[in-house]
Amino acid sequence: MKPGPRVVAIGGGHGLAMLLKAVGTYAGHTTAIVATGDDGGSSGRLRECIPMPAPGDLRRCIAAVSPNRELAEAMEHRFTDGDLAGHAVGNLVLAGLVDAGHDLVAAAASLSRWLGVDPEVVQVLPATDSPIDLVAETPEGTVRGQVEIEAAGRLVHIAVDPADPPVPPAATEALQQADQIVLGPGSFYTSVLAAAVVPGIQRTIAGRRGRFVFVANLQADETGVKNVDLAGHLRVLGLHDLTPDVVVTQRGGLPLGDVTAASPEVEVVEADIDRPHGLAHDSDLLGAVLAGLI
C-alpha cells in the first residue's frame, strides 16, 4: 500500500466515479462501496436474465480507476444495434462471470485485475453481492424499483429488499479500518443512499473510527429532493441513521438552510469544488478539500 490514509468512498453512478478520482489524489488505499439496486437500462435487462445485483455502477467505477485507458474505454463502450443495443461491454463481462459461477465480488476483482487496477491501492466492491430492489416510501404510498422511484414525486424514506442482505466482508473490514468515509455526491436516493442504507453498511458506519464526510451535490435537482436545501439533505440522512461529521458543499451553490437545526454537530465546509461550467465537481479541487479533513 502506498503512503496515505485509508479511505472508503460510498455511492454510485458518475458521482462515485468522480469521487474515486478525487480520493485517489491523497489516499494510500481506497475502497469503493457501490450501489447495486438499479433495475433499469442495461443492468435491469441483465438482471431479468441472471439473478445478480446490478453491475453498471461497478463497471463504471472500475473503469474510472483503471490505469489502462484503452481497456477501460472498451469496457464503457455501448452497443448500438441488435439484441445487444444499450449494453455496455463491461456489464456483459461482469454478468458473464456471475453466470459462470462467480459472485459479484469475485467478478469485480477479476475485471479490476484485467484492467490493471492494483488491489493494494484500490478495490471496488458491491454494497451487497446478492440481488436487491430499492423500496421507497412516499406521501402517497410505497414505490418499488429504481426506475419507478426516479419517476415518483417526493420521497420520505428508502430501504432495500431483502431487508438485510449480506455485505461483502471486505467492505465491512474497509469501513472499520477507514481513516475517512466519504458519501456522495450523486442522485441522492437512488445512488448515494441506495448504497449506504444497506443495513450492514449502515451499522458499520455508525461504529466508525474515521471521520464520516458527506459531499453535497451542486444543486438540488435530483429524485425526491427537488428544491431542498443542504439542511433538508442532512435531515434525510439523519432519518436514515447516517449523520455525517462533516459536510462539504460548493461555496454559493446549494442553499444551506438551517443546518444547525437539522444536524447540530455537523461541521460545514464551503469551498470551490466545481468545474468552471458549474455543472459537475472538479475531482482535483474536491480531493484537496477532502485531504485537509483527515
pLDDT by residue (tens digit) across 65-124? Answer: 999 999 999 999 999 999 999 999 999 999 999 999 999 999 999 999 999 999 999 999
* Per-residue model confidence (pLDDT) at position 2: 77
Closest CA to 18 of 184, 178, 179: 184
Each residue's pLDDT tens digit, 38-68: 999 999 999 999 999 999 999 999 999 999 9
pTM, whole model, 2 decimals?
0.96
Residue 28 near residue 174 (C-beta atoms within 8 A): no
State the pLDDT at residue 225.
Answer: 57
- Residue 104, number of CB atoms within 10 A of its CB: 25
Q: Tell me, what's the pLDDT at 156?
A: 86
Residue pair 186/16 in contact (Cβ under 8 Å)? The answer is yes
Q: 281 pLDDT exceeds 60?
A: yes
Q: What is the DSSP letter of 9?
A: E
Say if residues 128 and 53 touch (Cβ distance below 8 Å). Answer: yes
Which cell goes with 267?
Answer: 461541521
Q: Are 161 and 142 in contact (CB under 8 A)?
A: no
Task: State the cell numbers at 252.
Answer: 454559493
Residues above pLDDT 70, as percent of the chain: 97
**Which three cell numbers mark 73?**
474505454
Distance in angstroms (rounded) separating the CA atoms of residues 14 and 86: 17
Share the mean pLDDT of the chain. 94
Please give the pLDDT value at position 151: 87
Cell, residue 76: 464503457
